[in-house]
Copies of this chain bind each other. A is one copy, B any other.
């Protein structure tokens, strides 16, 4: 999607831009893509001053209330590869937003602690992201926004709980029905 993306998305995925074609815009995937990319475009712009863009922001946000502050813990939480995390934190640290500190309990690990500058920047970014949300929801009135947020959050919570990345087996059969393919025989 990002797909995004595309989706980015992703990039990937989440990535291809949607058509403004009438016959397609009835479908959920198209609408999700347009809305998500619309949010991402603004959010990405808003986060352009933190090194690593959205990824850097996520690291800041995750590290700030972290019980689990090591690089690997952050990487797992955010779904970022640990080798990428190294470069990412290199950049964020160079910008003075976080510091690598030795973990007193494990000399292999580094605790990522957010500096004062990091706190200040994060607060500013979060304000901007709220405005970005309002911008995305501009077509709805107050009550509709609340309703939409509630429904979306329920869908997201449900989807997140079933995310194959964390609980593969539950979803496999479901996906198999949808795609018409045989479920893989648990190569993990």
**In the docked arrangement, what's the CA distance between A148 and B26, Å?**
13
Contacts known (A31-B153, A36-B36); A9 close to B4, Cβ less than 8 A: yes
Interface of A is mostly: helix
Q: B residues within 8 A CB of A164?
A: 41
Cβ A5 vs Cβ B36 within 8 A: yes
Which residues, 50 to 66 on A, are CB-close (under 8 Å) to B?
53-55, 58, 61-62, 65
Interface size on A, residues (CB 8 A): 94
List 20 contacting pairs A-B, 8 Å CB cutoff, sorted by A: A2-B40, A3-B4, A3-B36, A4-B11, A5-B13, A7-B11, A7-B36, A9-B15, A9-B36, A13-B53, A14-B15, A14-B40, A17-B79, A19-B58, A21-B65, A31-B155, A32-B36, A36-B36, A38-B159, A140-B155
Q: Give A residues with C-beta under 8 Å from B.
A: 1-21, 23-46, 48, 53-55, 58, 61-62, 65, 77-80, 128-129, 131-133, 135-140, 144, 147-149, 151-160, 162-166, 174-175, 177-181
